[in-house]
């Protein structure tokens, strides 16, 4: 397993400039899985093991569907989402819970404000505070609870790693990755998160896309529910028909074309601003048409006095 504290074998993958002068460099690892199953490492460390964080959600949702979760496509998209916290998102989360005979009191998501700044300000102005429902992973947690109800599993400890739901999810993630999960940690939302090899992660996200099943259909059919209208993950999926993509905390990003290439990105310093941009550049390198100005559309600008004075650029 690669040791991140010693640099981890990462390579420069993105640069941030300010007024024409390069100011910062992001290092990381970028892996591509081709249609024939072969793996190329475009940057960094082939043996890197990472917590994919929310980039695991399509795999977790696949496990839930295999366990008998029955929801509509919007509710399944929210199971895969790190949502902005808009009323559109939260109404779908509520509907998932209601379908299972539950309400927001059943959620064990870490209380939080909506992820999007404007949504958070509107939430506070309306008298809201940090709540489990507003947390960006609430759709996943609602789907986990619904899966428990469908199977007669207890809902009060559904986040415990030894719960039947979580043991099933861990098994399915290993199956999709083609190798056992290396370790189980705790994600920011309180749910288990799984340490896997980055090449195995690219293999797993390709497997979900190649199925063209319910998870792929939900995510590609409702990109705005997976993130939000201005989020890079949503912008990228809207721009590339059929592409399934998911962002994760600490600079992780995965994307896959059905019966085509998949990519997995880990930014070493955890900076999310470079992740989608680098993933899009990697997709272009392996022949996927990404009709975007990726520096402008998929990464925030460097600001000076409140106006753009620089940009993030991929080095791939």
For 123-137, give the DSSP string.
Answer: HHHTT--SBTTTSTT
Sequence-ordered list of residues with C-beta below 8 angstroms from that of 249, at least 6 positions apart, any chain: 53, 54, 187, 188, 270, 272
Which sign, positive or negative, has the C-alpha torsion 77, 81, 86, 89? Answer: positive
* 37 token code pair: 């199953």
**Residue 314 to residue 274: CA distance in whole angstroms:** 8
> What's the mean pLDDT when you consider all of the chain?
96
Contact between 206 and 96 under an 8 Å Cβ cutoff? The reply is: no
The radius of gyration computed from the CA coordinates of the chain, to the nearest angstrom, equals 19
Residue-number span of the structural domain to which 24 is assigned: 4-314
Task: Kindly report the CATH number assigned to the domain that includes residue 242.
Answer: 3.40.710
Please report, rounded to a whole number, the percentage of residues in the chain having pLDDT higher than 90: 96
pLDDT for 124-142, tens place per residue? Answer: 999 999 999 999 999 999 9
Query: Sorting pLDDT into bands at 50, 70 and 90, what band is 269?
Result: very high
Determine the average pLDDT of the residues in 183-187.
Answer: 98
Is residue 5 scored above 50 in pLDDT?
A: no
Q: Do the beta carbons of residue 89 and residue 81 sit within 8 Å?
A: yes
Number of structural domains in the chain: 1
Residues in the chain: 316
- The per-residue pLDDT for 7 is 52
* pLDDT grade for 9, boundaries at 50, 70 and 90: confident
Please give the distance of CA 313 from its chain centroid, rounded to a whole number. Answer: 21
Query: What does the pLDDT look like over 66-96, one tens digit per residue?
Result: 999 999 999 999 999 999 999 999 999 999 9
CB 274 within 8 A of CB 28: yes
Q: Distance between CA 24 and CA 136 in Å, rounded?
A: 29
* β-pair type (192-197, 49-50): antiparallel
DSSP state of 21: E
**Alpha carbon 160 to chain centroid distance?**
21
């Amino acid at each position: 397993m690669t040791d991140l504290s010693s640099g981890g074998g990462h390579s420069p993958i993105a640069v941030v400039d300010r007024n024409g002068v390069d100011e910062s460099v992001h290092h990381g690892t970028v892996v591509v899985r081709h249609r024939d199953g072969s793996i190329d490492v475009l940057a960094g460390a082939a043996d890197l093991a990472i917590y994919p964080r929310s980039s695991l959600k399509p795999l977790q949702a696949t496990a839930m569907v295999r366990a008998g979760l029955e929801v509509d496509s919007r509710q399944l998209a929210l199971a895969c989402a790190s949502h902005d916290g808009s009323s559109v998102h939260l109404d779908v989360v509520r509907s998932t819970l209601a379908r299972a005979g539950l309400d927001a009191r059943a959620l064990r998501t870490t209380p939080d404000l909506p992820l999007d700044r404007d949504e958070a300000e509107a939430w506070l102005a309306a008298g809201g505070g940090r709540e489990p429902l507003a947390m960006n992973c609430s759709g996943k947690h609602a789907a986990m609870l619904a899966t428990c109800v469908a199977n007669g599993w207890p809902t009060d400890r559904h986040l415990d790693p030894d719960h039947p739901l979580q043991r099933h999810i861990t098994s399915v993630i290993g199956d999709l990755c083609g190798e056992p999960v290396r370790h189980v940690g705790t994600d920011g939302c309180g749910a288990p998160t799984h340490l896997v090899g980055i090449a195995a992660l690219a293999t797993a996200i390709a497997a979900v896309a190649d199925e063209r099943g319910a998870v792929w259909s939900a995510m590609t059919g409702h990109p705005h529910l997976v993130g939000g209208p201005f989020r890079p993950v949503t912008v990228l999926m809207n721009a590339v028909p059929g592409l399934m993509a998911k962002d994760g905390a600490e600079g992780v990003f995965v994307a896959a074309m059905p019966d085509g290439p998949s990519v997995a990105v880990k930014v070493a310093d955890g900076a999310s601003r470079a992740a989608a941009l680098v993933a899009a550049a990697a997709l272009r390198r392996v022949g996927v048409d990404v009709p975007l100005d990726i520096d402008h559309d998929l990464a925030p600008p460097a600001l000076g006095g409140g106006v753009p004075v620089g940009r993030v650029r991929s080095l791939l």
